[in-house]
Amino acid sequence: MTDPASARRRTIPSAPLLAAAHGRTPSRTPVWFMRQAGRSLPEYRKVREGIAMLDSCFMPELLAEITLQPVRRHDVDAAILFSDIVVPLKAAGLDIDIVPGRGPVVAEPIRCASDISALPILDHDVQEIIEGIGLIVDELTDQQALIGFIGAPFTLASYLIEGGPSKNHEQTKAMMHADPESWHALMRRIVPTVLGYLDTQVHAGIDAMQLFDSWAGFLSQRDYREYVLPYSQEIFAHIEQYDIPRIHFGVGTGELLGAMAEAGPDVVGVDWRVPLDDAASRIHAAAGPKVIQGNLDPAMLFTSEDVIRREVQRIHAEAQRAIAAGDATGHIFNLGHGVLPSTDAEMITRAVEIIHET
Protein backbone atom coordinates (compact mmCIF):
# COMPACT_ATOMS: atom_id res chain seq x y z
CA MET A 1 0.00 0.00 0.00
CA THR A 2 1.04 3.63 -0.39
CA ASP A 3 3.52 5.35 1.89
CA PRO A 4 1.61 7.78 4.18
CA ALA A 5 4.41 10.31 3.76
CA SER A 6 3.54 10.60 0.06
CA ALA A 7 -0.05 11.67 0.71
CA ARG A 8 -1.42 14.39 -1.56
CA ARG A 9 -2.28 17.35 0.65
CA ARG A 10 -3.96 20.64 -0.21
CA THR A 11 -3.14 23.77 1.75
CA ILE A 12 -6.53 25.32 2.42
CA PRO A 13 -6.49 26.50 6.05
CA SER A 14 -9.03 29.28 5.39
CA ALA A 15 -11.70 26.85 4.16
CA PRO A 16 -14.62 27.45 6.57
CA LEU A 17 -15.06 23.82 7.55
CA LEU A 18 -11.37 23.32 8.32
CA ALA A 19 -11.14 26.60 10.21
CA ALA A 20 -14.10 25.61 12.40
CA ALA A 21 -12.82 22.05 12.87
CA HIS A 22 -9.53 23.45 14.19
CA GLY A 23 -11.32 25.78 16.61
CA ARG A 24 -10.66 28.94 14.61
CA THR A 25 -13.26 31.51 13.54
CA PRO A 26 -14.48 30.67 10.02
CA SER A 27 -15.35 33.27 7.39
CA ARG A 28 -18.92 31.95 7.48
CA THR A 29 -20.78 29.21 9.32
CA PRO A 30 -19.64 26.04 7.57
CA VAL A 31 -22.33 23.62 6.50
CA TRP A 32 -22.49 20.27 4.77
CA PHE A 33 -25.17 17.59 4.88
CA MET A 34 -24.86 13.86 5.26
CA ARG A 35 -26.32 12.15 2.17
CA GLN A 36 -26.19 15.48 0.33
CA ALA A 37 -24.89 13.52 -2.68
CA GLY A 38 -27.82 11.27 -3.40
CA ARG A 39 -31.40 10.65 -4.33
CA SER A 40 -32.68 14.12 -3.47
CA LEU A 41 -30.92 15.47 -6.57
CA PRO A 42 -32.46 14.93 -10.02
CA GLU A 43 -28.99 15.07 -11.57
CA TYR A 44 -27.94 12.21 -9.30
CA ARG A 45 -30.87 10.06 -10.35
CA LYS A 46 -30.01 10.74 -13.98
CA VAL A 47 -26.34 9.72 -13.79
CA ARG A 48 -27.09 6.67 -11.62
CA GLU A 49 -29.82 5.37 -13.91
CA GLY A 50 -29.22 1.68 -14.61
CA ILE A 51 -26.05 1.52 -12.50
CA ALA A 52 -25.94 -0.50 -9.29
CA MET A 53 -25.01 1.36 -6.11
CA LEU A 54 -21.78 -0.51 -5.37
CA ASP A 55 -20.73 -0.38 -9.00
CA SER A 56 -21.08 3.40 -8.96
CA CYS A 57 -18.75 3.62 -5.93
CA PHE A 58 -15.96 2.03 -7.99
CA MET A 59 -16.35 4.18 -11.11
CA PRO A 60 -13.95 7.15 -10.66
CA GLU A 61 -15.62 9.64 -12.98
CA LEU A 62 -19.10 8.79 -11.72
CA LEU A 63 -18.25 8.89 -8.01
CA ALA A 64 -16.49 12.23 -8.58
CA GLU A 65 -19.49 13.64 -10.43
CA ILE A 66 -21.91 12.54 -7.73
CA THR A 67 -19.67 13.87 -4.94
CA LEU A 68 -19.44 17.27 -6.63
CA GLN A 69 -23.12 17.70 -7.57
CA PRO A 70 -24.30 19.10 -4.20
CA VAL A 71 -21.28 21.41 -3.96
CA ARG A 72 -22.18 22.96 -7.29
CA ARG A 73 -25.91 23.15 -6.58
CA HIS A 74 -26.09 24.03 -2.89
CA ASP A 75 -22.84 25.94 -2.21
CA VAL A 76 -22.09 23.72 0.78
CA ASP A 77 -18.67 24.14 2.36
CA ALA A 78 -17.60 20.54 1.96
CA ALA A 79 -18.04 17.58 -0.31
CA ILE A 80 -18.51 14.18 1.30
CA LEU A 81 -16.98 11.35 -0.71
CA PHE A 82 -19.75 9.40 -2.44
CA SER A 83 -19.41 5.90 -1.05
CA ASP A 84 -21.09 3.29 1.13
CA ILE A 85 -20.13 1.85 4.47
CA VAL A 86 -19.46 -1.58 2.94
CA VAL A 87 -17.20 -0.38 0.10
CA PRO A 88 -13.95 -1.37 1.89
CA LEU A 89 -15.35 -4.84 2.57
CA LYS A 90 -16.20 -5.20 -1.12
CA ALA A 91 -12.77 -3.90 -2.09
CA ALA A 92 -11.19 -6.49 0.20
CA GLY A 93 -12.96 -9.25 -1.73
CA LEU A 94 -16.02 -10.00 0.40
CA ASP A 95 -19.13 -11.29 -1.37
CA ILE A 96 -21.48 -8.45 -0.46
CA ASP A 97 -24.02 -6.43 -2.40
CA ILE A 98 -26.49 -3.61 -1.84
CA VAL A 99 -29.99 -4.85 -2.52
CA PRO A 100 -32.45 -2.09 -3.54
CA GLY A 101 -35.02 -1.52 -0.84
CA ARG A 102 -33.06 -3.48 1.75
CA GLY A 103 -29.44 -2.37 1.90
CA PRO A 104 -26.12 -4.24 2.23
CA VAL A 105 -26.53 -8.02 2.16
CA VAL A 106 -23.70 -10.44 2.95
CA ALA A 107 -23.74 -13.73 1.05
CA GLU A 108 -22.34 -15.74 3.99
CA PRO A 109 -22.86 -14.09 7.40
CA ILE A 110 -20.24 -14.62 10.08
CA ARG A 111 -21.23 -17.15 12.70
CA CYS A 112 -18.05 -18.74 14.09
CA ALA A 113 -14.30 -18.43 14.52
CA SER A 114 -13.50 -20.01 11.15
CA ASP A 115 -15.75 -17.45 9.43
CA ILE A 116 -13.82 -14.68 11.14
CA SER A 117 -10.41 -16.04 10.14
CA ALA A 118 -11.64 -16.33 6.54
CA LEU A 119 -12.81 -12.70 6.38
CA PRO A 120 -10.65 -10.95 3.77
CA ILE A 121 -8.55 -7.94 4.83
CA LEU A 122 -7.97 -5.01 2.50
CA ASP A 123 -4.25 -5.13 1.68
CA HIS A 124 -4.03 -2.81 -1.33
CA ASP A 125 -4.87 0.72 -2.38
CA VAL A 126 -8.27 1.05 -4.02
CA GLN A 127 -7.16 2.64 -7.25
CA GLU A 128 -10.66 3.65 -8.35
CA ILE A 129 -11.05 5.68 -5.15
CA ILE A 130 -7.68 7.36 -5.63
CA GLU A 131 -8.60 8.35 -9.19
CA GLY A 132 -12.05 9.58 -8.14
CA ILE A 133 -10.67 11.71 -5.31
CA GLY A 134 -8.11 13.19 -7.69
CA LEU A 135 -10.90 14.34 -9.98
CA ILE A 136 -12.84 15.80 -7.05
CA VAL A 137 -10.03 17.85 -5.52
CA ASP A 138 -9.11 19.20 -8.94
CA GLU A 139 -12.53 20.88 -9.12
CA LEU A 140 -12.94 22.02 -5.50
CA THR A 141 -11.87 25.54 -4.59
CA ASP A 142 -9.63 26.40 -1.66
CA GLN A 143 -12.78 27.23 0.31
CA GLN A 144 -14.31 23.76 -0.14
CA ALA A 145 -13.09 20.76 1.83
CA LEU A 146 -13.38 17.09 0.89
CA ILE A 147 -14.46 14.78 3.71
CA GLY A 148 -13.48 11.14 3.55
CA PHE A 149 -16.09 8.47 4.23
CA ILE A 150 -15.59 5.38 6.40
CA GLY A 151 -17.82 3.06 8.39
CA ALA A 152 -16.90 2.22 11.98
CA PRO A 153 -15.93 -1.36 12.92
CA PHE A 154 -19.06 -1.95 15.01
CA THR A 155 -21.43 -1.06 12.20
CA LEU A 156 -19.45 -3.16 9.73
CA ALA A 157 -19.43 -6.07 12.18
CA SER A 158 -23.19 -5.85 12.56
CA TYR A 159 -23.72 -6.16 8.81
CA LEU A 160 -21.33 -9.10 8.69
CA ILE A 161 -22.99 -10.95 11.56
CA GLU A 162 -26.63 -10.16 10.79
CA GLY A 163 -26.15 -10.67 7.05
CA GLY A 164 -27.73 -7.29 6.35
CA PRO A 165 -29.59 -4.45 8.08
CA SER A 166 -31.17 -5.43 11.39
CA LYS A 167 -33.89 -3.88 13.54
CA ASN A 168 -32.63 -5.35 16.78
CA HIS A 169 -29.02 -6.51 16.16
CA GLU A 170 -29.77 -9.63 18.15
CA GLN A 171 -27.10 -11.83 16.52
CA THR A 172 -24.52 -9.09 17.01
CA LYS A 173 -25.30 -8.61 20.69
CA ALA A 174 -25.44 -12.38 21.18
CA MET A 175 -21.88 -12.77 19.90
CA MET A 176 -20.71 -9.84 22.04
CA HIS A 177 -22.00 -11.37 25.25
CA ALA A 178 -22.01 -15.12 24.62
CA ASP A 179 -18.73 -15.31 22.67
CA PRO A 180 -16.71 -12.18 23.45
CA GLU A 181 -13.49 -13.83 22.25
CA SER A 182 -14.94 -14.18 18.75
CA TRP A 183 -16.35 -10.65 18.91
CA HIS A 184 -12.99 -9.11 19.67
CA ALA A 185 -11.32 -11.30 17.04
CA LEU A 186 -13.80 -10.00 14.47
CA MET A 187 -13.22 -6.37 15.43
CA ARG A 188 -9.45 -6.89 15.23
CA ARG A 189 -9.98 -8.40 11.77
CA ILE A 190 -12.05 -5.43 10.56
CA VAL A 191 -9.85 -2.59 11.83
CA PRO A 192 -6.97 -3.13 9.33
CA THR A 193 -9.45 -2.88 6.44
CA VAL A 194 -10.87 0.36 7.83
CA LEU A 195 -7.37 1.79 8.28
CA GLY A 196 -6.27 0.68 4.84
CA TYR A 197 -9.26 2.30 3.19
CA LEU A 198 -8.71 5.51 5.15
CA ASP A 199 -5.03 5.55 4.20
CA THR A 200 -6.06 5.29 0.55
CA GLN A 201 -8.36 8.30 0.92
CA VAL A 202 -5.78 10.38 2.78
CA HIS A 203 -3.11 9.54 0.22
CA ALA A 204 -5.48 10.63 -2.55
CA GLY A 205 -6.18 14.02 -0.97
CA ILE A 206 -9.10 14.16 1.49
CA ASP A 207 -9.04 17.18 3.81
CA ALA A 208 -10.98 15.66 6.73
CA MET A 209 -12.62 12.35 7.60
CA GLN A 210 -15.83 11.18 9.27
CA LEU A 211 -16.22 7.84 10.99
CA PHE A 212 -19.86 6.76 10.71
CA ASP A 213 -21.06 4.40 13.44
CA SER A 214 -24.58 4.10 12.09
CA TRP A 215 -25.82 1.43 14.50
CA ALA A 216 -23.96 2.38 17.70
CA GLY A 217 -27.14 3.91 19.10
CA PHE A 218 -28.50 0.40 19.66
CA LEU A 219 -25.89 -0.19 22.35
CA SER A 220 -25.82 0.65 26.04
CA GLN A 221 -22.96 2.84 27.17
CA ARG A 222 -21.53 -0.12 29.09
CA ASP A 223 -21.45 -2.31 25.98
CA TYR A 224 -20.13 0.51 23.82
CA ARG A 225 -17.20 1.09 26.15
CA GLU A 226 -16.29 -2.59 26.42
CA TYR A 227 -16.92 -3.86 22.91
CA VAL A 228 -16.58 -0.85 20.58
CA LEU A 229 -14.66 2.08 22.02
CA PRO A 230 -11.15 0.53 21.91
CA TYR A 231 -11.41 -0.04 18.17
CA SER A 232 -12.69 3.45 17.38
CA GLN A 233 -9.84 4.81 19.50
CA GLU A 234 -7.37 2.82 17.43
CA ILE A 235 -8.70 4.35 14.22
CA PHE A 236 -8.62 7.94 15.42
CA ALA A 237 -5.14 7.44 16.88
CA HIS A 238 -3.91 6.15 13.52
CA ILE A 239 -5.35 9.11 11.63
CA GLU A 240 -3.78 11.61 14.02
CA GLN A 241 -0.49 11.34 12.10
CA TYR A 242 -2.07 13.02 9.09
CA ASP A 243 -3.18 16.15 10.95
CA ILE A 244 -6.60 16.29 9.33
CA PRO A 245 -9.85 16.92 11.25
CA ARG A 246 -11.43 13.73 12.53
CA ILE A 247 -15.23 13.66 12.87
CA HIS A 248 -17.25 10.99 14.70
CA PHE A 249 -20.98 10.50 14.17
CA GLY A 250 -23.63 7.99 15.15
CA VAL A 251 -27.42 7.91 15.07
CA GLY A 252 -29.39 7.83 18.32
CA THR A 253 -26.19 8.20 20.32
CA GLY A 254 -27.22 10.89 22.79
CA GLU A 255 -26.33 8.63 25.73
CA LEU A 256 -23.02 7.72 24.10
CA LEU A 257 -21.75 11.19 23.19
CA GLY A 258 -19.25 11.31 26.03
CA ALA A 259 -17.86 7.87 25.23
CA MET A 260 -17.72 8.63 21.52
CA ALA A 261 -15.78 11.81 22.30
CA GLU A 262 -13.32 9.71 24.30
CA ALA A 263 -12.57 7.78 21.10
CA GLY A 264 -10.43 10.74 20.07
CA PRO A 265 -12.19 12.77 17.35
CA ASP A 266 -11.73 16.51 16.94
CA VAL A 267 -15.40 16.97 16.02
CA VAL A 268 -18.42 15.12 17.43
CA GLY A 269 -21.58 14.90 15.35
CA VAL A 270 -24.89 15.21 17.18
CA ASP A 271 -28.20 13.91 15.87
CA TRP A 272 -31.40 15.97 16.16
CA ARG A 273 -32.60 14.36 19.39
CA VAL A 274 -30.26 16.29 21.72
CA PRO A 275 -29.93 20.10 21.93
CA LEU A 276 -26.43 21.11 20.89
CA ASP A 277 -25.61 22.86 24.17
CA ASP A 278 -26.70 19.81 26.17
CA ALA A 279 -24.64 17.58 23.87
CA ALA A 280 -21.59 19.82 24.25
CA SER A 281 -21.90 19.66 28.03
CA ARG A 282 -21.93 15.84 27.96
CA ILE A 283 -18.94 15.77 25.61
CA HIS A 284 -16.97 18.27 27.70
CA ALA A 285 -17.58 16.34 30.90
CA ALA A 286 -16.18 13.16 29.37
CA ALA A 287 -13.39 14.31 27.07
CA GLY A 288 -12.96 18.07 27.26
CA PRO A 289 -14.44 20.60 24.83
CA LYS A 290 -14.70 19.57 21.18
CA VAL A 291 -16.07 21.09 18.02
CA ILE A 292 -19.71 20.07 17.67
CA GLN A 293 -21.49 19.24 14.42
CA GLY A 294 -25.20 19.28 13.72
CA ASN A 295 -28.07 19.09 14.16
CA LEU A 296 -31.13 20.17 12.13
CA ASP A 297 -33.86 17.53 11.95
CA PRO A 298 -33.91 16.36 8.28
CA ALA A 299 -37.71 16.54 8.36
CA MET A 300 -37.51 20.33 8.76
CA LEU A 301 -36.50 20.55 5.10
CA PHE A 302 -40.11 19.58 4.31
CA THR A 303 -41.57 22.61 6.09
CA SER A 304 -41.10 26.24 5.02
CA GLU A 305 -38.37 28.85 4.86
CA ASP A 306 -39.72 30.51 8.00
CA VAL A 307 -39.58 27.27 9.97
CA ILE A 308 -36.13 26.43 8.67
CA ARG A 309 -34.87 29.90 9.58
CA ARG A 310 -36.33 29.57 13.09
CA GLU A 311 -34.72 26.16 13.61
CA VAL A 312 -31.37 27.29 12.18
CA GLN A 313 -31.33 30.28 14.52
CA ARG A 314 -32.20 28.06 17.50
CA ILE A 315 -29.39 25.62 16.69
CA HIS A 316 -26.94 28.46 16.08
CA ALA A 317 -27.86 29.97 19.47
CA GLU A 318 -27.36 26.60 21.21
CA ALA A 319 -23.93 26.25 19.61
CA GLN A 320 -22.94 29.79 20.62
CA ARG A 321 -24.05 29.15 24.21
CA ALA A 322 -21.93 26.01 24.28
CA ILE A 323 -18.90 27.89 22.95
CA ALA A 324 -19.40 30.77 25.39
CA ALA A 325 -19.66 28.32 28.28
CA GLY A 326 -16.41 26.64 27.28
CA ASP A 327 -18.19 23.37 26.46
CA ALA A 328 -17.36 23.53 22.73
CA THR A 329 -14.57 25.02 20.64
CA GLY A 330 -16.53 25.52 17.43
CA HIS A 331 -19.57 24.54 15.36
CA ILE A 332 -20.08 22.94 11.97
CA PHE A 333 -23.68 23.02 10.78
CA ASN A 334 -25.22 19.78 9.53
CA LEU A 335 -28.39 17.77 9.75
CA GLY A 336 -29.00 15.43 12.64
CA HIS A 337 -28.73 12.59 10.11
CA GLY A 338 -28.86 12.32 6.32
CA VAL A 339 -30.90 14.14 3.70
CA LEU A 340 -34.10 12.17 3.13
CA PRO A 341 -34.51 10.88 -0.44
CA SER A 342 -37.74 12.77 -1.19
CA THR A 343 -36.42 16.14 0.01
CA ASP A 344 -36.96 19.02 -2.42
CA ALA A 345 -33.48 19.98 -3.66
CA GLU A 346 -34.47 23.64 -3.77
CA MET A 347 -35.23 23.58 -0.05
CA ILE A 348 -31.75 22.20 0.62
CA THR A 349 -30.24 25.09 -1.33
CA ARG A 350 -32.37 27.60 0.56
CA ALA A 351 -31.42 26.03 3.91
CA VAL A 352 -27.74 26.48 3.06
CA GLU A 353 -28.35 30.13 2.19
CA ILE A 354 -30.15 30.68 5.50
CA ILE A 355 -27.32 29.00 7.44
CA HIS A 356 -24.73 31.14 5.71
CA GLU A 357 -26.76 34.26 6.54
CA THR A 358 -26.93 33.36 10.24
Distances (CA, A) of 177 to 110, 157, 250: 16, 14, 22
Instruction: Reply yes or no on whether 48 is catalytic.
Output: yes
How far apart (Å, rounded) are the C-alpha atoms in residues 47 and 49?
6
> Which one is catalytic: 44, 73, 84, 197?
84
Q: Which residues on adjacent β-strands are paired with residue 296?
A: 335
Instruction: Reply yes or no on whether 39 is catalytic.
Output: yes
How far apart (Å, rounded) are the C-alpha atoms in residues 279 and 261?
11
Would you give the end-to-end CA distance of the chain in angstroms?
A: 44
Instruction: Reply yes or no on whether 111 is catalytic.
Output: no
Torsion-angle region of 320 (φ positive above 0: left; ψ -120 to 50: alpha; else: beta): alpha
Nearest to 209 by CA among 245, 183, 237: 245
CB contact at 8 A, 217 and 253: yes
CB contact at 8 A, 293 and 22: no
> Which one is catalytic: 44, 97, 125, 159?
159
Instruction: Reply yes or no on whether 246 is catalytic.
Output: no
> Which one is catalytic: 8, 10, 39, 310?
39
> Which one is catalytic: 35, 73, 246, 282?
35
Helix, strand, or coil (residue 291) = strand
How far apart (Å, rounded) are the C-alpha atoms in residues 304 and 308?
6
> Which one is catalytic: 48, 189, 246, 282?
48
How far apart (Å, rounded) are the C-alpha atoms in residues 310 and 103?
35
Instruction: Reply yes or no on whether 227 is catalytic.
Output: no
Active site members: 35, 39, 48, 84, 159
